[in-house]
Chain A
Amino acid sequence: MSLTSIAENPKPGSTIFSPELAARFDKLVTLYPRRRSALIPMLLYAQDEIGYVSDAAIAEIAQRLDITVLDVRNVLTYYSMLRTKPVGKYNVQVCTNISCMLRGGQEILAHCKDRLGIGHKETTPDGLFSLEEVECIGACSWAPAVQVNYDFHEELTPESMDALLDEYRSKGGQ
């Protein structure tokens, strides 16, 4: 990501987002006492639609909130779930924090690396999977836990992790 590369200013009234998302944004900015409060939800929803937060998305969000592109980037770089580059269709996030570590989280991570042939924050050549070691995801009593995109999977073993990856692989191939 380059902090200086700035997409062309979007034309007023035009949007890079789907009509549904654009309508959602129109509503979102009116919900809060100050428009800027909608920034983090907007970045997340933009990322959900595009796959990452693109320069064009940053420019349009800045315009919609009447803040600068730098304001948006400043916030964007703070939050670990927001990214400025695409990831695989299924982003496999393995928790290795203490509760998961005690119940084999690191083994699950090593197993995923082995099975997918990729490392932390890498993507398979077919673009189907990305892998990420993450901090506590709030599933400690059901460790070890993994999040694939926004879906939680708990009490995993290397075998059930394999089955899970297979499930996503066949779903993604369709």
Chain B
Amino acid sequence: MPRLVSHPDEVKIVSRRFGQGATNIDRYLELDGYTAVRQAIEKGPEWIVAEMKASNLRGRGGAGFPTGMKWSFVPKQSEKPKYVLVNGDESEPGTCKDHLIFLHDPHAVIEGCIIAGLAVGAKTGFIYLRGEYRYLLTIMEKAIADAYAKGFLGKGIFGSSFDFEIISQTGAGAYEVGEESALMESLEGKRGIPRIRPPFPAVVGLYGGPTVINNAETIASVSHILNMGGEAYAKIGSNRNGGTRLFCISGHAERPGVYELPMGYNLKKMIYEVAGGIRGGRELKAVVPGGSSTPVLLPSEIDIGMDFDQVGKAGSMLGSGGVVVLDETVCMVEFALRTIQFYQHESCGWCIPCREGTDWLKKTLTRFHAGGGEAKDIDNIRYLAENMLGRTFCPLGDAAAMPTIAFIKKFRQEFEDHLNGKPCPYAKRPVGELVGV
């Protein structure tokens, strides 16, 4: 069972039912469960969307798109059925927050999904978990069955005239499927390759119908927002970044864990106070602020507020909330190689710049780390990565290129130190141990 952590600076909203036994529907009801959805039925879609807009909630999957605005893009009239799709295909390395949501508070996902359905006029919701989360699907399916038994799902939910169905399933191992259009392909029983946009899913999505796709944490926030009011939620966060976020701290922190902190919380404080500093009192070398695809930050760059705008201004991205802490013992070439190895493995192969680019980056970095690199490789790696940017259907190509460019830009000296036929001067591990997955 994943260890739960706590810190006085935390503002527990999404995580407030963690460890409270809320997988049990009666316990969930005791803890104010299914109150927001009753209010939503009573007050109607316009009220829901207005509260969501006021909340300044931005998508927790990584892109940070305002949720209320996303919902308002769904056409009111549609010949084809509309759908809500909850993206629980959490796969960005460094990210494990949805894992805890499904484990501790599955009904919050169901409640948020119903509310999203009411807001856009959808009658069916899908909850898609990554394949590795099979034990969480079992929890989710039990929660859904309990909700049906109480009349919270099905025909005439909560005694109203609304119908709402939820279907949950897992994927079968594919990072790419976390991308919204590939996710729809996968749910339609196909290979998870991206679709070209426009049209956007809000207009033409799942089975050709208008579809709202939100991250599981976004959806789990919805009932809390309606209960506390959009404005009150917005006030907890920073400018244009409402509420709190589950930050997954991993790597060389003294106390890694998933902490719920207000948007805009200082990154330095997050590492040194909330997560207890660097393991063993070592020096900090670098921080990956939002999952493996986000450009690395130097220790001199971490005195920033963790929201979409401030991290963007610092040249990186808030991403999925996965804060990976690296101490002085890490070899950045090896770290870059392991990062690119992942994207090479996960590239779906649909777009050539991503398929070939990640492969060449992996080959070059592998040779480089083993001590067989050449001086020109450093610029070649950067040149290759820069030419992948923006040239693919989905952001996977960018996700591979952006961190690579940052590693070279910020740790060029370390790459240079690897030259002259010398094996890695930083890693304690013997080189050549990295096996292709």
Chain A: residues with CB nearer than 8 A to chain B?
31-34, 36-41, 43-44, 65, 74-75, 78-82, 96-99, 101-103, 106-107, 109-110, 120, 133-143, 147, 150-152, 154-155
Contacts and interface: CB of A to CB of B under 8 A. Distances in A.
Given A97-B338, A140-B248, A44 B172 contact: yes
A135 B93 contact: yes
Given A97-B338, A133-B435, A40 B169 contact: yes
B94 A99 contact: yes
A40 B171 CA distance: 7
A98 B292 CA distance: 8
A75 B135 contact: no
Contacts, number: 160
A15 B173 CA distance: 27
Interface in B213-263: 248-252, 256-258
A14 to B, nearest CB: 23
A140 B93 contact: yes
B131 interface: yes
B189 A102 contact: no
Given A44-B170, A80-B174, A99-B251, A138 B188 contact: no
A7 B191 CA distance: 22
B192 interface: yes
Given A44-B170, A79-B131, 7 more contacts: A33-B124, A80-B173, A102-B252, A120-B435, A136-B92, A138-B95, A139-B2
Given A34-B188, A44-B131, A103-B251, A79 B435 contact: no
Nearest to B206: A33
Contacts of B249: 141
23 contacts: A33-B207, A34-B207, A38-B189, A40-B186, A40-B189, A41-B170, A44-B170, A75-B190, A79-B171, A81-B172, A98-B94, A98-B288, A98-B335, A99-B324, A103-B250, A107-B429, A135-B345, A136-B92, A137-B132, A138-B91, A141-B2, A142-B256, A152-B135
Among B93, B257, B288, find the residue whose CB has the most chain A CB atoms closer than 10 A: B93
Contacts of A109: 435
A82 B189 CA distance: 14
A36 B191 CA distance: 12
Contacts of B132: 81, 137-138, 147, 150
